[in-house]
Homo-oligomer: A and B are copies of this chain.
């Protein structure tokens, strides 16, 4: 065992030891880089073993295209989705089916629809439209999901960062800001196994979020509740997430909570069913807007999904967990073995979801991502987990362990941890 891997914080080492380690790790990285490999930790995608769990989707129709209420799913119409698909949404989201629209293959598309409707047409059938404001601002807990940020940028909405704490976003800060500025119109949330931090919001946080629209200066403030990992546990029972719907009904804000989910990481990524849930007025506004641009969702695919999944989502997700648990365990094991005692990084140990969030010494994220790339490992671009791609401390790296094999994951984590150690040693040497 080399010095520095024996369990001593890197910053406490004498300079010559640090120099020795720097050379050792440089050589080690050169060795593993020589393998001419193509490794990738950036892909938040299910792996092929997971996809195979849903291959039986193709056999659920078996010549019977008629939904439970008699709808011929092969024909046009039905913007709210078929009844059994909305039931599936209820099973995933914990919201009554009557409050859910089952749609096409993309919940991102539904988020785009909600923002576009809020901006241009209004969500409640009255005169409230975001575009009538001087400017439009959205609260963005960070680190967060890059596609939420891209949507805001697309619509010209200014993002205001809110720190992510252990139990969810800093709601005190969010409430102060929202109460003081009527241009603040929304907050993004990934409440369960958050992307990328993996934490689940506490009951108090959920209750405070449900109350937020009532405290905001804007009367058209909404909570964007992207429950992308609602049933994506690694262990049973998974984290419990309180019902924001129930809190919102108690707080009188149900029409200001918009929830999203999809089967993308339950069955087939990109060929699943997306869901949006909210109050009756919001759903009505979304249907009116949708009716301009489509005759209806793919109801055959909805029927496939409902027949395949209804009543057995938990069981199905347990099979996913069997595949994913060793991958997340391997990531944590290698991070612990390689970085655990060096005091140069912190990382999350999520109970579900798709990501591990790794925080480095400040100022090293871009450098580590670049070093990894030179060594044949693709990482999510540094900064991607922050609005405008700007991580103010340049320290967050998102690890997506799901897509590759355990062997690839092991090789990738070896390079990543070597890059982190090397960049950290060089930083400390430069400071010494």
| A298: contacting residue among B46, B54, B65, B271, CB under 8 A | B271
Cα distance A74–B76 when bound, in Å?
A: 25
Which B-chain residue is minimally distant from A44 (CB atoms)?
Answer: B76
Q: Mark A132-150, 1 if CB is under 8 A from B, else 0.
A: 0000000000000000001
Residues of B within 8 A of A296 (CB): 270
| Contact stretch, chosen from A106-114, A123-131, A387-395 | A106-114
Copies of this chain present: 2
Q: List, in ascending order, chain B residues with CB within 8 A of A299's CB.
A: 270-271
Instruction: Check if A106 sits within 8 Å of B293, measured CB to CB.
Output: yes
Assess the A77–B270 pair: CB atoms within 8 A. yes
Pick from A27-35, A55-63, A233-241, A421-429 the stretch touching chain B. Answer: A55-63
Given contacts A104-B105, A112-B293, A271-B300, contact A46 B61 (CB under 8 A): no
Q: Is A292 within 8 A of B112, CB to CB?
A: yes
Nearest CB of chain B from residue A145's CB, rounded to whole Å? 12
For A8, the chain B residues whose CB sits under 8 A away are none
| B75→A269 contact, CB < 8 A | yes
The residues of B that contact A108 with a CB separation of less than 8 Å are 293-295
Residues of chain B within 8 A of A109, CB atoms compared: 293-294
What's the nearest-Cβ distance from chain B to residue A41, in Å? 16
Cβ distance A162 to chain B, nearest Cβ, rounded Å: 23
Query: B residues within 8 A CB of A76?
Result: 45, 264, 269-270
Please tell me if A51 contacts chain B, counting CB pairs below 8 Å: yes
Residues of B within 8 A of A298 (CB): 104-105, 270-271, 298, 301
Q: A344 interface residue, CB < 8 Å from B?
A: no
Verify A46–B58 contact, CB threshold 8 A. no
Minimum CB–CB distance from A307 to chain B (whole Å) comes to 12
The yes or no answer to A151 lying at the interface (CB within 8 A) is yes
CB-defined contacts of A62 to chain B, threshold 8 Å: 58
The reply on A203 being an interface residue by CB < 8 A is no
- Which residues of chain B come closer than 8 Å to A72, judged between CB atoms? 48, 51
Which residues in B have their C-beta under 8 angstroms from that of A154? 292
For this complex, 27 residue pairs linking A to B, each with C-beta atoms less than 8 Å apart, are: A51-B72, A51-B74, A54-B74, A55-B63, A58-B63, A74-B268, A76-B264, A78-B270, A104-B298, A105-B294, A105-B297, A106-B293, A106-B295, A108-B293, A108-B294, A108-B295, A109-B293, A112-B293, A112-B294, A150-B292, A264-B295, A268-B300, A270-B295, A270-B296, A270-B297, A270-B298, A271-B298
Q: Which 4 A-B pairs have the closest CB atoms?
A: A112-B293, A271-B300, A74-B268, A106-B294
